[in-house]
Structure 1
Amino acid sequence: MKNVACAAMNEGADSPKKATEKELFKQYAETKNKDIRNELVNRYLYIAEILSKKYVNKGIEYEDIFQVASLGLIYAIERFDLSRGFEFSSFATPTIIGEIKKYFRDKGWSIRVPRRIQELSKKVNAARIALNQTLQRTPRIEDIAEYLECTEEQVLEAMEASQVYTPKSLDLSYDSNGDDKDLQLMDLVGEDDKHFDVIENRDFIQKCMDKLNEVEIKIIRDRFFYNKTQIQVADEIGVSQMTISRMEKKAIEKFRKELKRVREI
């Protein structure tokens, strides 16, 4: 059946270029021939183009949106059932829009943000516009929270998360208040102070050491601060190397439990 259909397409009226859309959909349903699908894509690509332009200037490049819309068009062609009597354009439009919105939802945020925060962020933006018109002033956090029937903390969380939707370039320049050289964003971004990590680690180690007995403290200090071998420590204490190994593992396990507890706080 497939060979017969393909052969027929090569003859005059049955070629993809000359066939009607209904004929092409019927032939594609029967053969799944890629040439027929490509012809359908070319004929209806304008739908993907029109819908893509509705989403420009929203944080994602037009070319990326158009690619997603084109994939949505292909999905629509694959799923379209001519026997149901629908116009293809009516069927394809919601399919393409769905793919674009899905892409914005999943890829539009520069940092992965929970779906509930993304949805709340949209509601917060809509609420700000509505309240601005109603109150004739910039709405406060409590106004938005009351309007959306949520807490002020949730509104703040959504507003902070929305800042990662379209990240600012580190090359962005700011007026330096009369200085010859403008400041760039990278000059204003803080760095982690390594000394804080040292202090935190030292404090953590000290708290863990306070929970060890005298022998365990000696083993940890000799093994990890003075770089002594287990045999050397065993000779000093007067026990076997195997005993030092067991006690060392027991002490390290206490460190692990304390670290897990701290991370859960």
Structure 2
Amino acid sequence: MKNVANATNYLDIDTKELFRLYSSDKSNKDIRDILIERHLYLVNLLAKKYINKGVEFDDIYQVASLALIYAIDRYDIEKGYEFSSFATPTIIGEIKKYFRDKVWTLRVPRRIQELSKKISEAKVILEQKNKKHPKVKDIANYIGCTEEDVLEAMEASYGYQPISLDSSNNDDSEDKDITLIDKIGKEESSFGNIEQMDFVNKFIENLNELEVKIFKDRFFLDKTQSAIAKELDISQMTVSRLERKIVEKLRKEYEKNL
């Protein structure tokens, strides 16, 4: 009854004072439980950021909750910063660590993940038993599934430990020194440049001679407003005003072409 009474009394104390009390007595579980309860909103908020990333929400919530407890135990209120500012990076860090250590790189159905685990275990058992590397048929018979299921899971397993793009071929062909990244096609940057220049050229057609001069000098030749003003024998304020006008025209023209 005494513990219940103490817990009830603690409920009436503000959070900062609870942290001070807990700092002086880390063995007080009643205070820690109240502090956890008051900050579970933070766990829920941060855990929801990782929904639909290939892991059950309950698993993420559990990791975040343990991180919250860890943060409460380490927090020092005398340093002056808010607990939420201290706990947030701790919780996010633990969640990211969980993803890094436990989660597949690519999103793979749970059925495939579980089957892949069974295949790995079957490989070890069959190899020890038969003293040779098991075939797909042997694995399928041992697990009790089809060969197609085994092949699908084995292919998907690359999502757990992806191959580096810097790795080379494992065969003895002439291409053995060529890495995977050498085989990946890429978009020619010049295609995008052509499209952008076409847009700019069409935009310039709608400017007068003075605006074209300022536009090219400012955005292509990197001239300062004062240099342009001196060259055109006008004030820098006039150059600045015309530049804002040109930029506004450019923005509207761009939005029209989206």
Q: Which of the five TM-score ranges fits, normalised by the shorter chain?
A: 0.3 to 0.5
Normalising by structure 1, we get a TM-score of 0.40
